[in-house]
Amino acid sequence: MKRNIKLLLEYDGGRYDGWQRLGKKSSGVTIQGKLEEVLQKMTGEPIEVIGSGRTDAGVHARGQVANFHTDSNMKCWEMKYYLNRYLPQDIGVLYVADVPERFHSRLNALSKRYVYRVSIGDVPCVFDRKYTWYCFDRLDVGLMKKAAALMVGEHDFKGFSSVKKTNKSTVRTVTKIDFDVKDREIDMIFEGNGFLYNMVRIMAGTLIEVGTGDREPESVSEVFQTKDREKAGMTLPPQGLFLEEVFYSNEGR
């Protein structure tokens, strides 16, 4: 019987074309592709890595979860050592464990937490430029919180996504949006049961436009009513976005 192995990963997505493995005709490099390449050398088997979700090109992760099946009898600590030795230095494996056969990193995920980091102040931090987006304008966090409150709950988030035509539901539940205000940075923290393509970056961009006074907090309701992407705010660049944590039930681990 094959083993089911769970991985907890962190990565700097700056030089990758996202999580998902690309087609054979593409020359792009992805996180999934790199993991599978090293795992196949490690086990001598064809390996498919299942991720909890597909981070976009340039997006980072501190707590991505993945799993794969193998006949290998290597110990988990040996796998962790091998992976961290042979993977590129911008991908780190924090944890390796055997899990029940039924565990599926994507299907068993209950919710996810993303953080979008915004650099503020008179001078952007030079050392954080690859991991934040700099806002030149002053932000009214009070107004941003009013707009964020309208985003929390179960809604059709089609207008807050780059999804074109789809037969799948675009209804999602956002359980929490928090703001961590620091001297030179504001972190926008999003938690929900799932996120559509570019959804967090568009929500964050909309909140920024509320904070700069370019739109009213109540404009969020119009996006939900019309489901029109053009009614929402800008899509913020990928480098400020981090997949922070994926949550599972105890039974699903």
> Would residue 56 show up in a list of annotated catalytic residues for this protein?
yes
Helix (H) or strand (E) holding 65: strand 60-70
Sign of CA dihedral 17, 20, 23, 24: positive
d(CA 67, CA 89): 20
Token pair recorded at residue 10: 């962190």
56, 71, 156, 187: the catalytic one is: 56
CA dist list (Å): 205 to 40, 98, 137: 40, 39, 13
Sign of CA dihedral 9, 47, 78, 100: positive
Token pair recorded at residue 27: 């020359």
> What phi and psi, each to the nearest 5 degrees, are found at residue 80?
-60, -45
Nearest of 42, 35, 90 to residue 65 by alpha carbon? 35
Token pair recorded at residue 5: 């192995």
Token pair recorded at residue 108: 């068993």
d(CA 17, CA 2): 30
Catalytic residues: 56
